[in-house]
Structure 1
Amino acid sequence: MAKKKKAVKTRHLHPLIAILILCLLAIAIFLIFNNLQARRFQSNLNNFYNTTDIPLQGPLGELIRSEPVATDLQNGSANRIIYRTQKKDGTITFSSGMIYIPSKAAASPRPIMAWAHGTIGMGDSCAPSRQKVPNVNNGITWVDSMLEKGWVVTATDYAGLGTPGTEAYLVGQAEANDVLNSVRAAKNFNGSDAGNDYAVWGHSQGGHSALFSSARARSYLPDFKLVGTVASAPAAELPSLFSQQENTAVAWIIGPEASLSWPDNYPGINLSSVLTKQGLNSYKGIAEKCINQAAIDGLIRQRLGQKFFNEDVSNNSAWQTILNEQTAPTLAPNQPLMVAESLTDNVVLPNTTAKYIQRSCQAGSNLTQLWLTNVNHIALQSVISPSVINWLDDRFNGRPNISNCNQPLPIAPAQ
């Protein structure tokens, strides 16, 4: 008799596993496609941001080039710009940025609101003006409300971010030059109808920029009038901030950017004296990542037990000198100032902001403090935007600021 053949068993993937594999494959294809699109978009912008052939000599704030940008704005238009500015040492360089122009006719010279952005990464593709929809992609949707009021809004990228060179991260003198020259650029922009009254608002790193800008406004922009300054979650007290964030994931964000920026502005600074081996090997790559990728990297490294700094940088004399020099100045009593912070901010710690407020009030600053809770660091600027706009509107209309320095601080200031 012939032997019976054994039935061959076939293995089939469980339907759920097959669906999962297909989903993962679809996500991978989507991410690859998006990455290719982003690379193509950035590549198409390179000629606009190339400043290597532009003469260095010329007026500060001079508009070198501009082009319109498509946005969803209801009350105005947007333009990316290149303008002339200065580094910390006074040498000439160029910054990119944005200028937003109201659509309604100007009844009188328009006031200027200069925005200074926070930490976003130092790679050229991270620059706010290099985003597809800058006001949305950068979280400054409140620009439309300012345009409705008839304000010109200027928003620097900072020199070296988007343009050739290295961004002067947390170097207040250079940041101030970029912010203040963006005001000149707004005035020079054809069709802006901008006057000489301006205000400055900065968040996080930008709060640091805003305070340095306002402290030197009178000497640097003598023909303009600063009516008010807003610093939200400002990186104002650097020794306390760096010391407290030394062993956190935040150190893997601010540490790499400072490590890339400061040697350019403080030649001879020794990184190996304060950075771990992991920090030294990776700081350049992390600094060039945009903020979302850098934050994920930092969280992973923190979970793996990796440290960026090998010691408290405030104990290193060379770094201590820089931290002290880059601690934000207090403003004069005739310079209205609003400082806003959230008690649940885990990036710019609220006790460091309380320390700056305490120091400013003791120095006689005309300061309004605004405290919130249950608002994270990133969301703060959007949450407070109605209050900021109302406060700035009062300043543009000549109404006096009423200081509330007599209000008790809701948290003990950092030591």
Structure 2
Amino acid sequence: MRHLLAAVLLIVLSVFALPAAAQQAGRLIAADSIAETPAGVQAWRVQYWTTNQNGQSFQVTGIVAAPREAIPLRPRRVIAWTHGAWGVAEKCAPSLSPNFFDYTAGMDAVRSGYVVVAPDYIGLGSPTMHPFLVGTDTANAVLDAVRAAREIPGAAAGSSFAVWGESQGGHAALWTATAARSYAPDLTLVATAAAAPPTDLAANLREGSDKNARALLMSFALHSWSTLYGFSMDGIANRANQGIINRLAQNNCVSLNAKPKLGTILGILTVARATRNKDIARIEPFGSFARANSVDPARVPGPLLIAQSSKDTIVAPAVTRKFAKAVCRRGTPLRWIDMTGDHGASARESAQETIGWITARFDGNPPPNDCRRI
């Protein structure tokens, strides 16, 4: 009888343990081959498990791409590509876009032999609110994507990786570097590259010179944070304008090849006027939350590359340079790339140099240090 009870107990425990094991962060759920890819590239739309900062599990999505060639004897090097702002609605996931390969500068690295892992983050492509510019949640989703890619046999992804991102993805890359050692000790971070990264969130939302872009990004942040955490927008906008902020975020994805609709333009102009003299750094709880999710230069490990255009109207160059100087004061080796293009071209303009710099880090070469000239 005692043996029978023990057997029954084992079965019961096994049944209840299955969901927890199945939802383990970094576990691959599905990898569906993509038929139409650039020449020489094979790719998969993936689903995998991740967790937010509270330990809650989420099914999330992304794309993994690798060279279309025989599997090498050694695992391939990996770059985690962290995308810029596409929006906060579920439909805005980069992996859902027919233009994904055209608009994803990180895919250039596949031609250099890398596996490129491109997560959508939580809430893009999956039915929950996207935690826009929320550092820990985003970093977890990136690190778990790198883990999940290792379960795709055809990718042959290794455990050593670099992280490279642009705009919102620059913020994501820096947070991923900060969290990598503690959250994913099974992975080895080799290098971090960030093009036009928002670092001090309140300063970036205040100092970007394009007031209309600022208004749209502010709408994304306010809608995301108020929905996820119950923050009241009363100190920022009246109820009518709060409704406009929410609708802008719910209905609009960033589109690089289409003009915005008239309603979107009018909404952005209204939000720009309503928030013209609002500094979220001084409005609680948004100020504290923005500070908590800004990037701490003391916590970002090297080697590090930052690419920033002096003509960027969305991520203020002065804010990025201030962050870079703080990194340098910590003695972290920093490669600094000056550019002159617009914000949307930040990663593409610096791609060749960034991929070369990442490759040199994988090869074990000493990192260059531009701190004296910043």
Q: Same fold (TM over 0.5)?
A: yes
- CA deviation profile, 1:231-267 (whole Å, cap 9, x unmatched): 10001111211222499212321111111221354x3
Query: Separation in 2 of the partners of 1:371 and 1:180?
Result: 28
Alignment of 1:201-212 (within 5 A): 201-212=164-175
Q: Are residue 384 (structure 1) and residue 346 (structure 2) matched?
A: no
Q: Are residue 73 (structure 1) and residue 38 (structure 2) matched?
A: yes
For structure 1, list consecutive stretches of 5 or more residues without a partner in the other structure: 1-53, 409-415
1:157 aligned residue (103, 115, 120): 120
C-alpha change, 1:99 and 1:311, in structure 2 (3 Å) is same
Corresponding residue for residue 104 of structure 2: 140
Q: Are residue 274 (structure 1) and residue 236 (structure 2) matched?
A: yes
C-alpha change, 1:290 and 1:268, in structure 2 (3 Å) is closer
Question: How far did 1:301 drift?
Answer: 4.7
Q: Are residue 402 (structure 1) and residue 368 (structure 2) matched?
A: yes
C-alpha change, 1:280 and 1:294, in structure 2 (3 Å) is farther
Question: How far did 1:392 drift?
Answer: 0.7
Alignment of 1:86-105 (within 5 A): 86-105=51-70
Query: Separation in 2 of the partners of 1:387 and 1:80?
Result: 28
Q: What is the one-letter code of the residue matched to 1:357?
A: A
Query: Separation in 2 of the partners of 1:77 and 1:291?
Result: 26
Query: Separation in 2 of the partners of 1:127 and 1:78?
Result: 16
Contact 2:214 2:314 in 1 (8 A): no
Q: What is the one-letter code of the residue matched to 1:352?
A: V
Secondary structure at the counterpart of residue 291 of structure 1: coil
Corresponding residue for residue 172 of structure 1: 135
Secondary structure at the counterpart of residue 344 of structure 2: coil
**Matched length:** 350
Query: Separation in 2 of the partners of 1:296 and 1:238?
Result: 29
Contact 2:241 2:270 in 1 (8 A): no
Corresponding residue for residue 111 of structure 1: 77
Query: Separation in 1 of the partners of 2:298 and 2:116?
Result: 23
Corresponding residue for residue 26 of structure 2: 61
C-alpha change, 1:187 and 1:155, in structure 2 (3 Å) is same
Question: How far did 1:141 drift?
Answer: 5.0
Instruction: Please identify, of 70-79 and 388-397, the stretch whose mean Cα deviation from structure 2 is larger.
Output: 70-79
Q: What is the one-letter code of the residue matched to 1:214?
A: A
Secondary structure at the counterpart of residue 130 of structure 2: coil
Query: Separation in 2 of the partners of 1:158 and 1:166?
Result: 11
Question: How far did 1:363 drift?
Answer: 2.1
Instruction: Please identify, of 398-407 and 285-294, the stretch whose mean Cα deviation from structure 2 is larger.
Output: 285-294
Secondary structure at the counterpart of residue 59 of structure 1: coil
C-alpha change, 1:82 and 1:154, in structure 2 (3 Å) is same
Query: Separation in 2 of the partners of 1:80 and 1:196?
Result: 20
2:149 aligned residue (186, 191, 206): 186
Question: How far did 1:331 drift?
Answer: 5.7
Q: What is the one-letter code of the residue matched to 2:129?
A: T
For structure 2, list consecutive stretches of 5 or more residues without a partner in the other structure: 1-17
Question: How far did 1:59 drift?
Answer: 2.1
- Across the aligned residues of Structure 1 and Structure 2, the Cα RMSD in angstroms comes to 2.3
Contact 2:49 2:58 in 1 (8 A): yes
Question: How far did 1:227 drift?
Answer: 0.4
Q: What is the one-letter code of the residue matched to 2:348?
A: S
Query: Separation in 2 of the partners of 1:223 and 1:306?
Result: 45
Alignment of 1:328-367 (within 5 A): 328-330=295-297, 335-367=302-334
1:323 aligned residue (265, 279, 290): 290
C-alpha change, 1:276 and 1:250, in structure 2 (3 Å) is farther
Bigger share in helix: 2
Identity of aligned pairs, percent?
29
Secondary structure at the counterpart of residue 221 of structure 2: helix
Secondary structure at the counterpart of residue 62 of structure 2: strand
Question: How far did 1:402 drift?
Answer: 1.6
Corresponding residue for residue 180 of structure 2: 217
Q: Are residue 260 (structure 1) and residue 227 (structure 2) matched?
A: no
Contact 1:256 1:287 in 2 (8 A): yes
Contact 2:166 2:194 in 1 (8 A): yes
- CA deviation profile, 1:174-207 (whole Å, cap 9, x unmatched): 0000111111011122222111110001111111
